[in-house]
Structure 1
């Protein structure tokens, strides 16, 4: 190895602690939610830096009540979507996710730390429903993707699942729909995270279940998530 390479390697090693310290400070400054664990708070800051700096997420806050239960729903276009919602929220979000995702190798500890609710769609899905109801009754915010899996506007129409509507009608918690767009790696889990995007979230006003019938509420939420303004106006 040449002397120049040795010097460069030494400088890089010497700079590494300083760079890590700068990243640590940046994550602390970016953190907006207290998750109850210092390291999760740092992760919260890192997610916000990643979404706003790298993916150029528009500066929008999820329209969450300052306290009390709420149900956040959004269309699902890539693996980046949960990070975008987390980065836009000023309260912890309890995501309902498929058990196979929850048990993905090396990630279960993280999903458990941020309070994700695993749902087994083949066996005992009611367990996840009961846990989500418990969270809402405790005044927490539950988040889910009603399409059930990644679904693009170009795909054949897919009817959203009724879980969010059912939770809302049982607890009285408002549903707050959001539409995600501008994802370069749309359609993929890893590509959506790695490929730089101009991510956009469009927030809608909270929808309170007592103001709508079940079918009308379903139609309205579906229209917002699908970006179908004509159907949305009909539902209203």
Structure 2
């Protein structure tokens, strides 16, 4: 007759397997985007559960076109931001990220699997630009944080980088600006992910590059990302 210890271990393993099966099914139900690999699709579902249930993300649903190129931009307040944007989208997002982040130990496999575009700020940044242009011309969605690194409203003003503007004007792809708020761990890469938030994403009106000059686009996008209410409707300017 099996001992009490053996029975307890058996029950513990059975409970663990049952819990994993429930989580697997929940991730499958939550998945909204086909990333081309079943296991990445499972991670998509897990990320949506994490963002909507743990971080209480508002359900705006990113208003992207069903097909065709698009550029998603947002302010950057924590390491949680890309997870929030991916959870809000119904299409895969090709994030442009710093090469040092792309090569981060333990995460490089994930960044490669979801098609992130690494940019080397010091050496040949044009390589990332060419890859992003190729993606847009293939009808994909490119996402980036124009501030370049974490930047809070309380920080000294920092002019956004012109990458999104250049990509939009070269390809004609519209820009979809978003503003992230409600992050408890704002200012921290890992704190933003770990500390429970009441995350909010606010979408501004889509911006079509042919209606604006480069400097106008730069000012417009910067104003939206920094919470300037007057900039949220481009047609009102």
TM tier relative to shorter chain:
over 0.9
Report the aligned-residue RMSD. Answer: 1.6
Output one character per residue of 1:18-76: Cα deviation in whole Å (capped at 9) or x when no partner: 00000000000000000010000000000000000000000111121111000000000
Q: What's the counterpart of residue 38 of structure 1?
A: 38
Output one character per residue of 1:106-138: Cα deviation in whole Å (capped at 9) or x when no partner: 111110000000000000000000000000000
SS of match in other structure, 2:118: strand
> Given that residues 78 and 192 in structure 1 are in contact (C-alpha distance below 8 angstroms), is that contact kept between their aligned partners in structure 2?
yes
Change in 2 beyond 3 A, CA 1:233/1:17: closer
* Paired residues for 1:66-81 under 5 Å: 66-81=66-81
| C-alpha distance in structure 2 between counterparts of 1:147 and 1:9, whole Å | 51
Deviation at 1:182, TM superposition (A): 0.2
Q: What's the counterpart of residue 23 of structure 2?
A: 23
Q: What's the counterpart of residue 176 of structure 1?
A: 176
Output one character per residue of 1:120-164: Cα deviation in whole Å (capped at 9) or x when no partner: 000000000000000000000000000000000010011100000
> Given that residues 74 and 144 in structure 2 are in contact (C-alpha distance below 8 angstroms), is that contact kept between their aligned partners in structure 1?
yes
Q: What's the counterpart of residue 140 of structure 2?
A: 140
* Paired residues for 1:130-209 under 5 Å: 130-209=130-209
Change in 2 beyond 3 A, CA 1:138/1:45: same
Deviation at 1:11, TM superposition (A): 2.7
| C-alpha distance in structure 2 between counterparts of 1:62 and 1:231, whole Å | 19
Q: What's the counterpart of residue 224 of structure 1?
A: 224
Q: Which consecutive residues of structure 1, in runs of 5 or more, have no partner in the other structure?
A: none
SS of match in other structure, 1:202: strand
Q: What's the counterpart of residue 119 of structure 2?
A: 119
> Given that residues 76 and 149 in structure 2 are in contact (C-alpha distance below 8 angstroms), is that contact kept between their aligned partners in structure 1?
yes
Q: What's the counterpart of residue 83 of structure 1?
A: 83
Q: How many residues align?
A: 234
TM-score by length of 1: 0.95
> Given that residues 31 and 42 in structure 2 are in contact (C-alpha distance below 8 angstroms), is that contact kept between their aligned partners in structure 1?
yes
> Given that residues 30 and 48 in structure 1 are in contact (C-alpha distance below 8 angstroms), is that contact kept between their aligned partners in structure 2?
yes
Q: Which consecutive residues of structure 2, in runs of 5 or more, have no partner in the other structure?
A: none
Change in 2 beyond 3 A, CA 1:64/1:8: same
| C-alpha distance in structure 2 between counterparts of 1:179 and 1:5, whole Å | 53
> Given that residues 62 and 88 in structure 1 are in contact (C-alpha distance below 8 angstroms), is that contact kept between their aligned partners in structure 2?
yes
SS of match in other structure, 1:91: coil
Q: What's the counterpart of residue 57 of structure 1?
A: 57
| C-alpha distance in structure 2 between counterparts of 1:88 and 1:11, whole Å | 38
